[in-house]
Amino acid sequence: MAIVYDTYQRDEAERLLPLLKVDDAQRVIAVHEGDVITAAQFLAHVERVAALLPEASAAVNLCEDRYAFMVAFCAIALRGQANLLPPSRAPHAVEEVMAAHPGCHVVGDRPLAPAPERYHALPELALDAAVATPAAWPSIPALQTAVVGYTSGSTGSPRPNAKTWGSLDASTAGNLRMLQQAVGEQFAVVATVPPQHIYGIEMSVLLPLLGDVQVHSGRPFFPADIATALAQMPAPRVLVTTPVHLRALVASDIPLPPLAAILSATAPMPPELAAQAERCFGAPVLEVFGSTETCAFASRRVTADSRWSLYHGVHLHPQPDGTQIEAPQLDTPAVLADIVALHDDGRRFELCGRHADLLEIAGKRASLGDLTRRLLAIPGVEDGVVFQLDEPDAIGIQRIAALVVAPALDEQLIVDALRASIDPVFLPRPLRLVASLPRNETGKLPRAALLDLLARRTVA
């Protein structure tokens, strides 16, 4: 038995997977500043950048332009190095990641001042129409660590998660299968999320590398910019976004070019928002379920069904304090903090909440997610979140707090509105009005930022 296992390990260590699954030199892989970029041109850029990188085991990838990120991402991987993706671009976050990976360097697409140690700015990526078809298409060992991503910190301190190229290849197969069933074999992507986030990598970096997909190089933020970016891409178009960005897009009333689908993640999609978006833009709103630890492994169209459909090869096993998951992209089963109920012989599931999200006070139960949903349903509330504080009060209960963006309301009016829909033991105390919530680039709310804002607002 040991001999068989050793042979498997050796074979797996030697297995190579392509950097580009579709080996068509003229396939359009990206649209950058209005110019189409073919696979051959892309590989020429990757090879040029790879030759300039220093010897190291890893590199922090700070490129902001999505195409520049893709070039650096692949160049770093082809040099046998891991892409390090800090939870934010803040200097202290970059320094912490570099301290955890001695000898690493940093790659970016623009000058930085001050710049991190061992910082290298990419050269200009000029397009050459005369690029020849590659003599050999590059590949990467399946067991090579391609990415070390960090959790957002929404439930505590950011944690590193390493991904091999084989794992990313397997998870992308599931995403491609899901999207191709909805929009067809070929499609174009515009994403409002940064490429450094695992959701951004999955849906706007790996899809064009491992599928017949082209991506817009920008990260449009304002509704008018999103409309412009979509207009530069061919149909069928997929908009990769978040509930926060989608809410602003719906409120803007700016028309968009025809969409084949809207894809969302990073936060629960309110059914009301999904229905509004589908009416506004005439495209299905699809939601994917996953995490930095697991990548995406399920999807749903929330306006049609509240239950999630698992990707091929994924199996869930409910446990008292969470759920065990087996998936093609995981070497060993992982445990999620989410509580689920299985349906249809385990092919679909209903999310019942997170173990850490569940509250029990005075023998009564609720969930932070449901409390936040009820807060957001109050007319006049533009944004808000309900969360539990760390320190217990005088009788040993961890209090519940809320931060709310509602310019036309006062705090007592919001509390009274909540009182009509939830048990008094779960009313947030304190509840504070704020100008905006401290959301990161993907719309998530780091717990440390919430606690800091609450403390400053309470003192004020």
Q: How many residues does the chain have?
A: 460
**Residue 424: alpha-carbon gap to chain centroid:** 35
Which contiguous run of DSSP H or E holds residue 416? helix 411-419
Whether the predicted pLDDT of 193 surpasses 80: yes
Burial class (CB in 10 A: 0-12, 13-18, 19+), 207: buried
Identify the residue whose tokens are 């704020």. Answer: 434
Strands, DSSP E only, in 122-275?
139-141, 145-150, 160-164, 187-191, 213-216, 237-241, 261-264
Q: Are residues 276 and 212 in the same domain?
A: yes
Whether the predicted pLDDT of 138 surpasses 80: yes
Q: Are residues 282 and 429 in the same domain?
A: no
347 within some domain: no
Task: Work out the average pLDDT over 325-331.
Answer: 96
The CATH number assigned to the domain holding 400 equals 3.30.300.30
324 within some domain: no
Q: Are residues 293 and 373 in the same domain?
A: no
Q: How far apart are CA 210 and CA 169, in angstroms?
A: 7
Residue range 263-277, pLDDT digits in tens? 999 888 889 999 999
Q: How far apart are CA 213 and CA 240, in angstroms?
A: 13
130 token code pair: 């005369």
Task: Work out the average pLDDT over 231-242.
Answer: 96
Domain of 367 in residue numbering reads as 362-459
pLDDT at 456 (0 to 100): 85
Q: Are residues 187 and 275 in the same domain?
A: yes
Q: Are residues 300 and 371 in the same domain?
A: no
Task: Work out the average pLDDT over 316-340.
Answer: 92
Q: Are residues 302 and 366 in the same domain?
A: no
Give the pLDDT band of residue 7 (cuts 50, 70, 90).
very low
Whether the predicted pLDDT of 419 surpasses 60: yes
Q: How far apart are CA 142 and CA 328, in angstroms?
A: 13
Residue range 66-108, pLDDT digits in tens? 999 999 999 999 999 999 999 888 888 889 999 999 999 999 9
DSSP states along 203-243? IIIIHHHHSSEEEES----SHHHHHHHHHTSPSSEEEEE-H
Is it true that the peptide bond before 195 is cis, omega within 30 degrees of 0? no
pLDDT at 229 (0 to 100): 97
Q: Are residues 405 and 285 in the same domain?
A: no
Q: What percent of the chain has pLDDT over 90?
A: 63
- HSE (side-chain half, CA atoms, 13 Å) at 294: 25
Identify the residue whose tokens are 């849906």. Answer: 203
Q: Are residues 290 and 378 in the same domain?
A: no
Q: How far apart are CA 408 and CA 430, in angstroms?
A: 19
274 within some domain: yes
Q: Are residues 302 and 383 in the same domain?
A: no
Q: How many domains does the chain have?
A: 2
Q: 420-427: long-range contacts (C-beta < 8 A, 24 or more apart)? A: 421/374, 421/377, 422/366, 422/371, 422/374, 423/364, 423/366, 425/361, 425/362, 425/364, 426/359, 426/361, 426/364, 426/366, 426/371, 426/400, 427/400
Neighbours of 232 (CB within 10 A): 16
Distance (Å) of CA 320 to CA 69, 332, 342, 370? 41, 20, 14, 20
Q: How far apart are CA 221 and CA 227, in angstroms?
A: 10
Task: Work out the average pLDDT over 250-258.
Answer: 94
Q: How far apart are CA 452 and CA 460, in angstroms?
A: 12
Q: How far apart are CA 176 and CA 329, in angstroms?
A: 14
388 within some domain: yes
Q: How far apart are CA 409 and CA 412, in angstroms?
A: 9
